[in-house]
Amino acid sequence: MAAEIIDGKLIANEIREELKKEVLDLKSSGITPGLGVILVGDDPASRSYVTAKERACDNLGLYSENVKLPVETTEEELLKLVDTMNNNPKIDGILVQLPLPKHIDTDKVIMAINPDKDVDGFHPQSIGKMIMGKETFLPCTPHGIIKLLLRSNVKVEGANVVVVGRSNIVGKPVANLLLDKSEGGNATVTICHSRTKNMADITKNADILIAAIGKAEFITGDMIKDGAVVIDVGVNRVEDSSRKKGYRLVGDVKYSEAAEKASKITPVPGGVGPMTITMLMYNTVYSAKNR
Beta bridge partners of 266: none
Whichever of 137 and 218 has its CB closer to ligand GUN, that residue is 137
CA atoms of 245 and 289, how far apart (whole Å):
41
Whichever of 12 and 206 has its CB closer to ligand GUN, that residue is 12
Whichever of 122 and 224 has its CB closer to ligand GUN, that residue is 122
Q: Is 125 a catalytic residue?
A: no
**Which CA distances in Å does 104 have to 21, 40, 73, 76, 112?**
39, 10, 9, 9, 13
Out of 92, 117, 118, 120, the active site residue is 120
CA atoms of 228 and 45, how far apart (whole Å):
30
- What is the closest distance, in whole angstroms, from the C-beta atom of residue 202 to ligand GUN in the complex? 26
Percentages of the chain per state (helix, strand, coil), in multiples of 5: 40, 15, 40
- What is the closest distance, in whole angstroms, from the C-beta atom of residue 78 to ligand GUN in the complex? 13
Out of 53, 172, 254, 264, the active site residue is 53
Strands 264-265 and 4-5: parallel
Give the burial class of 186: count Cβ atoms within 10 A of its Cβ; 0-12 exposed, 13-18 middle, 19 or more buried. Answer: middle
- What is the closest distance, in whole angstroms, from the C-beta atom of residue 221 to ligand GUN in the complex? 27
**Which CA distances in Å does 23 have to 29, 63, 272, 275, 276?**
10, 11, 23, 18, 19
- What is the closest distance, in whole angstroms, from the C-beta atom of residue 120 to ligand GUN in the complex? 5
CA atoms of 83 and 78, how far apart (whole Å):
9
Tell me which residues touch ligand GUN (CB under 6 A).
95-98, 120, 140-141, 169, 276
- What is the closest distance, in whole angstroms, from the C-beta atom of residue 154 to ligand GUN in the complex? 22
Per-residue 3-state assignment (H helix, E strand, C coil) for 19-55: HHHHHHHHHHCCCCCEEEEEEECCCHHHHHHHHHHHH
- What is the closest distance, in whole angstroms, from the C-beta atom of residue 256 to ligand GUN in the complex? 26
Q: Is 254 a catalytic residue?
A: no
CA atoms of 257 and 210, how far apart (whole Å):
16
Whichever of 44 and 227 has its CB closer to ligand GUN, that residue is 44
Whichever of 120 and 217 has its CB closer to ligand GUN, that residue is 120
The residue of the chain with the least Cβ separation from ligand GUN equals 98
Q: Is 53 a catalytic residue?
A: yes
Of 99, 63, 80, nearest in space to 291 by CA: 63
- Cβ count within 10 A of residue 87: 9
Out of 97, 147, 225, 264, the active site residue is 97
Whichever of 97 and 284 has its CB closer to ligand GUN, that residue is 97
Task: Return the active site residues.
Answer: 53, 97, 120
